[in-house]
Chains A and B, each alone.
Chain A
């Protein structure tokens, strides 16, 4: 790779042809990356593209199977996160983990506080060092304030200060803005610019493309674990970047059919689960795909769980086709024609040690019955039918689902629920962590189901998916439904504004 930096310096940290596999999954294939001092570099790629693995490789959590990590041009091997930290590499995660009862200063100098005679902690020195770090970052935070009650944004600042106290020269920021409001993002970017001017190399990860274009100079794109490109952002458009990430045009990935909505199939009225979500009301009509957007922790999954009956609700009511559901009874929801494809397919969607056949069969235990016994013939043909319809790639239908890839496991979960012939289908993060090809298949399937008259409620943190698939977008913020946005008005800006609690622009 040619040297793109105009400062004429060498990369402080680089990956050269790095590969990493987990069992049969090749998370990274021949990936290269160069980080220069005084430059903010973006890492782009879809969920499952290998970004996390790359970060963990840089941070010393994973050791590459092949290829090299180069620090100042010299190959190094990190034997753990401690080695990477000592080399000046720090990772700022989306949700920092501070000790809530300790002060900011104590959190920063945990385990290495300045000492006075007889090994006593020098509180004044700790305080002063922290105050100096905050000045360097241009932020006003009281070093003696306990970490409890700090906003996510402030917690990230503390983590950055901690990184600086370790003389970090490389900062890796893993989706730092996902949970921040607009003004917090602006302040964070101010800090990032300060770091850049002080000569730090920053690797910046975000799903918000406009942020990448705003703060970064160059971008490295990954797709399905493979390196696609490292290039300057100047002259690129967002569409160019998306095409690199997705490997095709968006139209193919989001094959949304236009459907005229029919009657109301799912009606949720004033649903409340104390301390989790409050006064949530919405309807989903036949043929509609309604997205439920919001930040992680906004209460979307919890609403879905309560509607389906896995959790109880404290107030409100849920109706499917005008029939009220029993509180806290998934069997009642199923009987009424409701299906839920849960967020965590390995723990909630599937019994991993059971066969494909029996997993699909689990939802048919009440229906594929003859004289009180499981009708094994009917069970097998039901499972085979749906496995074939959804093009699940498997060796034998009696193999355990643990042997399948993530995308195929997700198809089995979908098969299991589609086999019940649902009127209302709730899908929670239906394409998280699955490859792009399967993702497009899942989207086509959801679109076809809606066209066939199924009411679909789709929870998704993937904004392009929300915008590409939904007829309407409901947005939750801190346990409340804050906005309903039509397909024509839905943009990244309007959805994110509602999701972060800002009034729509």
Chain B
């Protein structure tokens, strides 16, 4: 939601966008191996899974919900993809099945949240474990790698002479769709209202449960699409694909200025947050920072991105409070009756 220019002179999503530019410029200038087109294509390719899931996740968090099972759904899709491939099915038949599976996973989350009224945080922590467990049952510890080469080439390749991966183009299309849906369509408008005040949204005739069910289902669909992309991009379908990706997605979305309590933020900010996180992870890899340390950085960023806006609010409240509060009068003992 656009705040009026005077109440918030500098918008957080603009800040994140500027920060992204600064990090990119510094990296070009000072990080060896950052600016070559191979590394840039790695950066984008490795960030795409986060970015793809961040699209529906942004809409979900704006509406006041969250889905932590996204990485497990992606992993389950990859596992099912590998298992069916081993069974001899064609990839053209497998991919729609995987996407339908994602729809089912998302629908299940959504039904638990909207029909039974359970908190999405708890529900999706549960399905985070459950979906990953099913993935392991389906594929065991196998790694399926022999997918058709034209699919592998598409998922890992880039346009000749550039650093732009092929897969970036469909992402851009989905990004435009998501931006329009969130910021220009009545659907998106209703999500902001739901996130800011679910009760007021209901009293305005907005179908809160239906909108949320749609969002969870879309999130499941995008997660499974990401799972398929992941298996092809890295030419490896394993049950533990994309483990921990939900952390990166949530961190990036919150970093991008989407309010965890719902009702505030822009998709532009969220995507800036995604690529800021992607760029930082890329730079850390180039500097030989271990994967474990990178997770620490991501976790700290997550905490900071939730903490930052709150600290700012507390400071401004404290300032306002000082102006209003009267000096404490001295206590006069009450006479005994």
Q: Which residues of A pack against B, CB within 8 Å?
A: 21, 23, 63, 65, 71-72, 74-79, 83, 86-88, 167, 169, 308, 310, 330-331, 333-334, 340, 342, 347-355, 358, 361-363, 365-366, 369, 372-374, 396, 398-400, 416
Contacts and interface: CB of A to CB of B under 8 A. Distances in A.
A83 B202 CA distance: 44
A346 to B, nearest CB: 9
29 contacts: A63-B329, A65-B326, A71-B335, A74-B335, A76-B332, A76-B335, A87-B334, A310-B202, A330-B202, A330-B205, A331-B205, A331-B206, A331-B207, A351-B193, A351-B196, A351-B200, A352-B197, A353-B196, A353-B197, A354-B263, A358-B189, A358-B192, A362-B206, A372-B185, A373-B184, A373-B185, A374-B184, A374-B185, A400-B7
A363 B204 contact: yes
B205 A74 contact: no
Nearest to B204: A362
Interface centre among B2, B329, B334 (most CB of A within 10 A): B334
Interface in B284-337: 324, 326, 329-332, 334-335, 337
Interface residues of B, number: 34
Contacts of A348: 199-200, 203
A88 B337 CA distance: 8
Q: Which 7 A-B pairs have the closest CB atoms?
A: A365-B186, A330-B205, A362-B204, A334-B205, A398-B4, A348-B203, A373-B184
A358 B201 CA distance: 12
Contacts of A167: 337
Query: Which of B197, B203, B204 counts the most chain A CB atoms within 10 A?
Result: B203
A277 to B, nearest CB: 19
Nearest to A347: B199
Interface in B1-51: 1-2, 4, 7
A348 B197 CA distance: 8
Contacts of A76: 332, 334-335
B132 interface: no
B326 A310 contact: no
A63 B189 CA distance: 43
A63 to B, nearest CB: 7
A342 B203 contact: yes
B177 to A, nearest CB: 12
Nearest to B326: A65
B186 A369 contact: yes
Pick from B186, B190, B335 the residue with the most CB of A within 10 Å: B186
Interface string B107-140: 0000000000000000000000000000000000
A86 B337 CA distance: 9
Contacts of B263: 351, 353-354
A349 B199 CA distance: 9
Interface of B: 1-2, 4, 7, 180, 184-186, 189-190, 192-193, 196-197, 199-207, 263-264, 324, 326, 329-332, 334-335, 337
A380 to B, nearest CB: 13
A347 B200 contact: yes
A65 B337 CA distance: 26
Contacts of B201: 351, 362
Contacts of A83: 334
Contacts of A86: 334
B332 A354 contact: no
A416 B204 contact: yes
A169 B337 CA distance: 9
Contacts of B205: 330-331, 333-334, 363
Nearest to B1: A354
Nearest to A417: B204
A353 B331 CA distance: 39
Q: Which of A351, A352, A353 lies at the interface centre, i.e. has the most chain B CB atoms within 10 A of its CB?
A: A351
B180 A23 contact: no
A401 to B, nearest CB: 10
Contacts of A87: 334, 337
Contacts of B203: 308, 310, 330, 340, 342, 348-349
B182 to A, nearest CB: 11
B193 A362 contact: yes
A354 B207 contact: no
B189 A351 contact: no
Given A363-B205, A365-B206, A373-B184, A349 B200 contact: yes
Given A353-B1, A361-B189, 5 more contacts: A77-B331, A78-B334, A353-B264, A374-B185, A399-B4
A329 to B, nearest CB: 8
A399 B1 CA distance: 12
Given A310-B202, A351-B201, A363-B205, A77 B332 contact: yes
A365 B334 CA distance: 60
Contacts of A398: 2, 4
**Candidate in B200, B202, B330 with the most chain A CB atoms within 10 angstroms:** B200
Contacts of B193: 351, 354, 358, 362
Contacts of B199: 347-348
A364 to B, nearest CB: 9
B189 A362 contact: yes
A501 B58 CA distance: 53
Nearest to A73: B335
Contact of A350 (B200, B329, B337): B200
Contacts of B196: 351-354
B209 to A, nearest CB: 11
Contacts of A333: 205
A365 B189 CA distance: 8
Nearest to A369: B186
Nearest to B190: A365
Task: With a 10 A CB-CB cut-off, give which of A75, A330, A362 has the most chain B CB atoms.
Answer: A362
Contacts of B7: 399-400
B116 to A, nearest CB: 16
Contacts of A169: 337
A70 to B, nearest CB: 10
Nearest to B184: A373
A369 B190 CA distance: 13
A374 B181 CA distance: 10
A366 B205 CA distance: 10
Nearest to B337: A88
Contacts of A363: 204-205
Contacts of B180: 373
